[in-house]
Amino acid sequence: MSTSSVSKGCFVFKPSAKKKKQLSLEDHFTDGCEGAENSEVRFKLCQLLWERIKTDTEVLQDELNRKVLDSLLDLTRKCSSTRQHSDWASKMRASEIPTAALVLGVNVPDHDMTFQSLSEQLQQSVTPHVASVQAKECGTLKHLMKRVLEKLTGTDVAVDDDEEEEEAEQTSAPLLKGTHCSLGTLCDWYNTKRKKSSSGTPGKKRSSPAKDEQQQPPVVIIFKDLEAFNPRVLQSFILICSLYIERLPLMFIFGIATSPSTIQHMLPHSVSSLLCIELFQSLSCTQHLATVIDKFILTHQFPFKLNGKVMQVLISIFLYHDFSVRNFIKGVQLALLEHFHSQPLSVLCCAKKEALLNVTQLSVRDLERIRQLPSFKRYVERQETEEQVRLLKDDGYLKDVCQRLIKDLRKYHKNYYPVLRCLHTLASSLPRYPLGKQIRELHLICLEKNVWENEDYQSAMKLLKMLAKEELVMLLQRCAEILQQVKSKKMKNALNQLEEMLVKFKQLDTAKAAVESVPDVEESFTSPVKNLQKKTDLFQLQKTLLELNESRRSKKLSPFEVLRNEAIDFIDGLVKSHLSPPESQTLNEVCYYSSSATVRRHLNATPRTSIQAALNTPYYYIQNDSLKTEDGSVSNAAPDICIAYKLHLECGRLINLFDWLEAYATVVSGAEGNDPDSEDFGKVDQVKHARFIQAVSELEFLGFIKSTKQKTDHVARLTWGGC
Amino acid sequence: MSALSQHPGYEEEKLQRVREQLPCRENQAGLLLSLLGQPQQYSYPSIFIYGHRASGKSHVMQVLLKELELPHATVSCVECVSNSLLFEQVLLSLFGCEAAAMLTRKPSLSDFVRIYRHQCSQSPATQTRYIVMEKAELLRDADANLLPALLRLQELVEDNVTVILLSEISWDKFRPNTGCFEPLLLHFPDYSKGELQQILSQDRHPSYSAEFYSSYVNILLGVFFSVCRDLRELRHLAALNFSKFCEPLAEGKVKETDTHKLWRNIEPHLKKAMQTVYLREVSSLQWEQMQQMEEKEAGALRGLSAHTHVELPYYSKFLLIAAYLASYNPARADKRFFLKHAGKIKKTNFLKKNEKTSNHLLGPKPFPLDRLLAIFYSVVDSRVAPTASIFSQISSLVTLQLLSQVSHDDQLDAPKYKCAVSLDFIRAISRTVNFEIVKYLYDFL
């Protein structure tokens, strides 16, 4: 670009903003999207579902944390009011800083949301003065002090943020010019603020201004991650605060990730004695996850579904790696996006009415796609030949069938979840939890294959047939409660049957009372046992035991047992008719996202594996046909680093650089097409030398080798295993 | 009592008030006053007062300076993160805010001296000015010239000024290498039992008689004096347990004078409080609640240290176990534990002399990252891909302070860690994943 300037110099040209068209989210979505014609609709559906997830999770989190937050709010209110009281006990306690230790669990990424809603609620209902600080921005006492002052004294500081970065090292911060960052300044600020608010503006935002004026709103400082703070910084900060506690109604909230005893580890007695600590425990993250799964996964109202493998990936990331519900939801979001992005038929993944409407608007290509779906193919195979032809030729007919199938799929979901819950209520009462403690485990089993073919299921059924009466009745009652909430014909029928059974169980009681039954069975039953008590040899014992077993089996079942078997068989029937895996359903591809590899690759990245893959098989990334090789060897045309890597795999712990260079030169000469018999073959010229050095230093940068002092001109391998 | 009665230059009335506010510290206060001399006289340049925590150092200084209306500046060294804050506070309280405003952005000591002199020439001292530095031990970490300069500030500014340093540490630990002006040393001894009784009895409950409260204090001291002589802690304990002490009175079972019955009532509670003395296990508020519900559900509220259970993700648990093993086993023993068919090595021949002492007595040793991972992969029962989240778990264990990084943050190449959890903790963790850690620990072979 040219300038009108005469002199030489550097000129900055800012790119004009208009030229570059800002790509919207939708454009990104459509870009490279499979089946672009209905991408708009899919994008909208996707957005809609994501919005729903987002708002619902927020509401959910608020609900779950309500108890803890409410008690925290109570504490702050109390501490601001007790300060006013002058009874003996609170006077004796006046020098202590009220502190809440909030134990949140190790899922640190989730805490942000909790703290945000906490500070919002505090600001709304208790005090306008809330500052929350994080360890990473408060390395030293000075910075901590500055942060606290900035956050409390208001927004005008935040404006010249850039300036502050430069001046961070200097002692006096730009806020409140001329004065230093100390709690003294904060005290003055607080007093003027109070005076102002009490003298002027009677119509304040807060709910009860009259009440607020009498008491001082406390100044709340939230330490989001206590463990990460430098203990010395924290100690001196608390010491300073305690000097001002008489003038400034301070209060702390510690966010603790591990256990409350960290407070004792971090603060010596001289400091912790200045605090009046109260403990709060939030809900555990596994419970949180359970509610989230309950809300989004185990319901027919949410059209988007995850298949078993994807669920497994997401849940194992949660359990094995981070315990973070937020990351779990992010994973669901990723799957959602991928699904709508890559599956053109996902237009049908929405509420019933919309889906039926969308079926009518399917294009010819989409219909062809439907015919290609494996589940649909299977469906077609099951039909009569005439029907098959119609399905494959007649588009209009296909649309009708699709509508029916979509309805069927919905019905399947409608029945699936209640039955799943029923089965879980029954199975979770059994010892050793044969079908899993959590409902999500059972769900995973059901997603994978027919649950009734599972060994654990069969053993669970056997165990269920041994339940005592009270327990069984109670469990069945709970099942009935679950079924009651469902509006579907089949479930209504099931409910009726179940209730009939429950009535029968009750009648059994009265019947039993009337007739003192089965004394004769008792009789025959006890006789072999009596025989047992006699001294017998081993053979005899075995025989009698066998007999005993036989007699028990042939024993006439009591009415309760008959009924029990009936009930369990009924449940078994329900399971068999409704809990078949989704893969067996036609058109399941519309709703189910199944690419677990994508999810895993995105969420649980393996940098080392991908580096090694790149070095071993460069074709994988470069996609150059000349690099294609069989049997895992590297072609000699591969990038230098790949060749060097491959060669180094053949070495032991220490690599002689010269040998390595020789081998490299041989391989590269082969690639150049030199005659293997000529004299120059395998000779090291300067270019090859330089290329080799570069490859080696790249390998060093990637962490495969390092220089060693054990031997000159050797390098040490840092990975083990050969080729 | 005589120590505080006659000091020329101070009004008798004020001295009387001082005396009332300083029970059990008359001697020290008297000595101090005689050191300070009459207000207009020059005093000794610097005085160093030391004594244990809560032995009344700051209190005595404050009462003296306030009641006798002497010009003074009190500065707490914790608060002064930089010299400029310290200078500012001194100038502010001695000369007002104009003087403080004259300080530059990053004032040096000589700036301070210059401004002080300037101010001093405008308003010459008619009385000795006092600068009290609390928690003076922190001055040692400040600039090297600050402490020596403060000690002879009187010479530097040519003013009638005395610097008084208060500290919990004796002067021997202060003396800089380069030598300095020696201040006058004054020691505040600990309170005796009688004195504690006298002081504690002062903050009596308004609705009960003084004798009643002092008999309570007597009982309290009888229990706690052997383990705790810290006035502050005792005061805290007194406040905690008093309501329980009064309970039978409120119920009308006992009269105030019936000390024996009161004693029988309070004793078990005090014994219980004894277990958690100094720990501040529960807040005073919660303690009261605990006392109230007591018999019904005492288990519901537990102290801070009762909650040691930490829930961790599955692999984090194994990482922590691996870290523990790496920290407490000698590296040469790894082969024996984690290699198949390694055979048994006899412990005695195998080790050098210094390794024979229990590793658990010596504390955790640092280990490099690759050793941690090697142990991790052999300990964890399934195949684990070396994903990024495994590595991020290590660093999140560091932020949770379950591991600590020994090498510097900047060192990316082969960082070293230490395991920072106790044996009990790791046992609890390994129990949840069915891993028998004791079998893998060299100390327990």
Got the DSSP string for B142-203?
Answer: S-TTHHHHHHTHHHHHTSSEEEEEEESS-GGGT--TT--PPPEEEEEPPPPHHHHHHHHTTS
pLDDT mean across residues, chain B = 83
Q: Look up the CATH superfamily of A53-157+179-194+210-283.
A: P-loop containing nucleotide triphosphate hydrolases (3.40.50.300)
Under 8 Å between Cβ of B286 and A275: no
Q: B304 — contact with chain A (CB < 8 Å)?
A: yes
Contacts for B329 with CB less than 8 Å, ≥ 6 apart: B337, B359, B440, B441, B442
Say whether pLDDT at B346 is over 80.
no
The residue among B149, B165, B188 that closes a domain is B188
The tally of domains found in chain B comes to 3
> Is there a contact between B84 and A261 if contact means CB atoms under 8 Å apart?
no
| Claim: this prediction has a pTM higher than 0.95 | no
Sign of CA dihedral A490, A492, A498, A500: negative
Contact B101 A178 (CB under 8 A): yes
Segment among A13-27, A48-62, A65-79, B13-27 with least mean pLDDT: A13-27
Q: Is the pLDDT of residue A52 over 80?
A: yes
- In this complex, is the C-beta atom of B316 within 8 Å of any C-beta atom belonging to chain A? yes
B220 and B335 both lie in a single domain: no
Nearest to A272 among B280, B312, B387 (CB): B280
Q: Is the pLDDT of residue A21 over 70?
A: no
Secondary structure element (H or E) that encloses residue A139, with its range = none
- Distance from C-alpha of A462 to C-alpha of A569, rounded to nearest angstrom: 11
Confidence of residue A514 (pLDDT cuts 50, 70, 90): low
Helix, strand, coil percent values for chain B (each to nearest 5): 55, 10, 40
Query: Would you call A319 and B314 a contact, using CB atoms and an 8 Å cutoff?
Result: yes
Judge: B283–A259 Cβ closer than 8 Å, yes or no.
no
Helices (H), B163-308: 193-200, 210-224, 231-251, 259-275, 284-293
pLDDT, average across residues A312-320: 92
What SS3 string covers A151-202? HHHCCHHHHCHHHHHHHCCCCCCCCCCCCCCCHHHHHHHHHHHHHHHHHCCC
Indicate whether B235 and B252 sit together in one domain: yes
pLDDT at A526: 45
Nearest CA in chain A to B85: A180
Which is more confidently placed, B181 or A201? Answer: B181
**Range A508-511, long-range pairs (CB < 8 A, 24+ positions):** A508/A469, A508/A559, A508/A560, A508/A563, A511/A559
CB-defined contacts A:B, below 8 A: 159
Mutation choice for A interface testing from B97, B285, B320 by most A CBs within 10 A: B285
Contacts of A99 in chain B (CB under 8 A): 283
* Residue B168 domain boundaries: 2-188
- Using CA atoms, how far apart are residues A596 and B246, in angstroms rounded to an integer? 68
What value of ipTM does the predicted structure carry? 0.88
At A210, the pLDDT band (50, 70, 90 cuts) reads very low
Task: Examine the domain organization and report whether B46 and B152 are in the same domain.
Answer: yes
Helix (H, G, I), strand (E, B) or coil at A345: helix
Which has the closest alpha carbon to A604: B313, B400, B379?
Answer: B313
CB contact under 8 A, B399 and A262: no
Q: For residue A666, what is the DSSP state?
A: H
Q: Please choose, from the candidates B130, B304, B358, the residue with its C-alpha nearest in 3D space to the C-alpha of residue A254.
A: B304
Report how far residue A170's alpha carbon sits from residue B275's, in angstroms, rounded to the nearest whole number: 47
DSSP A390-448: HHHH-HHHHHHHHHHHHHHHHHHHHHHHHHHHHHHHHHTTSTT-TT-SSHHHHHHHHHH
Helix/strand/coil percent split, chain A, to 5? 65, 5, 30
Which letter does DSSP use for residue A707 in this model?
E
- Same domain for B219 and B169, yes or no, is no
* DSSP secondary structure string for all residues of B27-38: HHHHHHHHHH-S
Q: B205 and A285: CB-CB below 8 Å?
A: no
Are B378 and B299 found together in one domain? no
B48 φ, ψ (degrees, to nearest 5)? -115, 120
Say whether pLDDT at A311 is over 90: yes
pLDDT digits (tens, 9 = 90+) for A672-701: 776 666 766 767 789 999 999 999 999 999
Q: In this complex, do A239 and B235 lie within 8 Å of one another by their Cβ atoms?
A: no
Distance separating the N- and C-terminal Cα atoms of chain A: 54
Cα angle A484, A488, A490; round to 5: 95
B249 and B326 fall within a common domain: no
Over residues A275-297, the mean pLDDT reads 86
Indicate which of B92, B203, B283 best probes the interface with A, i.e. most A CBs within 10 Å of its own CB: B283
Is the predicted pLDDT of residue A518 greater than 80, yes or no? Answer: no
Residue with tokens 């014609």: A37
Q: Is the dihedral of CA A244, A249, A255, A260 positive or negative?
A: positive
Q: Give the β-pairing of A275-281 and A219-223.
A: unpaired
Cα B91 to Cα A175: distance, rounded to the nearest angstrom? 22
B172 and B213 in a single domain? The answer is no
Contact A80, B283 (CB under 8 A): no
Taking CB atoms and an 8 Å limit, are A278 and B283 in contact across chains?
Answer: yes
User: Any chain A CB within 8 A of the CB of B52?
Assistant: no
- Separation of alpha carbons B27 and B30, rounded Å: 5
B200 shares a domain with B180: no
Using a CB–CB cutoff of 8 Å, tell me whether B399 touches chain A. Answer: yes
Tokens for A217? 């709103």
Quick check: A25 pLDDT over 80? no
- Residue from A285, A317, A321 whose CB has the most chain B CBs within 10 Å, to mutate: A321
Given an 8 Å threshold on Cβ–Cβ distance, is A261 in contact with B304? yes
**CATH of residue B430:** 1.10.10
Alpha-carbon distances of B439 from A39, B325, B366, B367, rounded to whole Å: 59, 11, 21, 20
Instruction: Write down how long chain A is.
Output: 723
Q: Which structure tokens are listed for A444?
A: 């995973």
Confidence of residue A295 (pLDDT cuts 50, 70, 90): confident
Instruction: Band the pLDDT of B297: cuts 50, 70, 90.
Output: very low
Query: Do A258 and B401 count as a contact with CB atoms less than 8 A apart?
Result: yes
Q: What are residue A436's phi and psi, to 5 degrees?
A: 95, 150
Between A550 and B32, the more confident residue is B32
**Please, which pLDDT band fits residue A237 given cuts at 50, 70 and 90?**
very high
Structure tokens at A192: 């003027």
Q: How far apart are CA B349 and CA A422, in angstroms?
A: 63
Tokens of A102: 């909030």
Which of B282, B400, B405 to mutate against chain A (most A CBs within 10 Å)?
B400
Q: Cα–Cα distance between B323 and B327 in angstroms, integer? A: 6
Residue A504 has pLDDT above 60, yes or no: yes
Distance (Å) from the alpha carbon of B112 to chain A's nearest alpha carbon: 16
CB contact under 8 A, A319 and B304: no
Reported as a single tens digit per residue, the pLDDT across B320-331 is 999 999 999 988
Provide, as residue numbers in chain A, all residues whose Cβ is less than 8 Å from the Cβ of B316. 106, 321
Domain boundary among B305, B331, B347: B305
A279/B304 touch (CB, cutoff 8 Å), yes or no: yes
| Top-confidence residue, A201 or B107 | B107
The domains of chain A are located at 53-157+179-194+210-283, 289-518+556-591, 607-717
pLDDT by residue (tens digit) across B72-123?
999 988 888 788 888 888 888 888 877 777 877 778 888 889 888 888 888 8
Q: What does the block give as tokens for A614?
A: 């790149």
Does B385 contact A at CB distance below 8 Å? yes
- Is residue A511 classed as helix, strand or coil in its secondary structure? helix
What's the rounded mean pLDDT across residues B136-144? Answer: 86
Average pLDDT over residues B232-245: 82
Q: Tell whether B410 and B343 lie within a shared domain.
A: yes
Same-domain pairing of B132 and B210: no
| Residue B416's pLDDT band (cuts 50, 70, 90) | very high
CA distances from B387 to A234, A516, B348, B373, B400 (A): 35, 68, 40, 12, 20
Sheet holding B46-51, edge to edge: B72-76, B129-134, B161-167, B46-51, B184-188
**Count of C-beta atoms within a 10 Å radius of residue A31:** 11
Span between the terminal Cα atoms of chain B, in Å: 67
List C-alpha distances in Å: B136 to A29, A287, B140, B152, B169.
64, 51, 8, 15, 9
Q: How many helices (H) and strands (E) does chain A have?
A: 34, 10
Q: What whole-number percentage of chain B has pLDDT above 90?
A: 16
Does the CB of B314 have a partner CB in chain A at under 8 Å? yes
Question: Would you tell me which residues 322-381 of chain B have a C-beta closer than 8 angstroms to some C-beta of chain A?
Answer: 370
Amino acid at A170: Q
Query: Does one domain contain both B82 and B170?
Result: yes
Judge if B426 and B341 occupy the same domain.
yes
Q: Which residues of A607-641 are buried (b: 16+ CB within 10 A; e: fewer)?
A: ebeeebebbbbbbeeeeeeebeeeeeebbbbbbbb
Last residue of a domain, one of B305, B327, B362: B305
The DSSP H or E segment spanning A285 is helix A285-296
Q: What is the pLDDT of residues A565-580, one digit of tens each?
A: 888 899 899 899 988 9
pLDDT of residue A722: 53
Average pLDDT over residues A26-49: 80
The answer on pLDDT for A179 being more than 60 is no
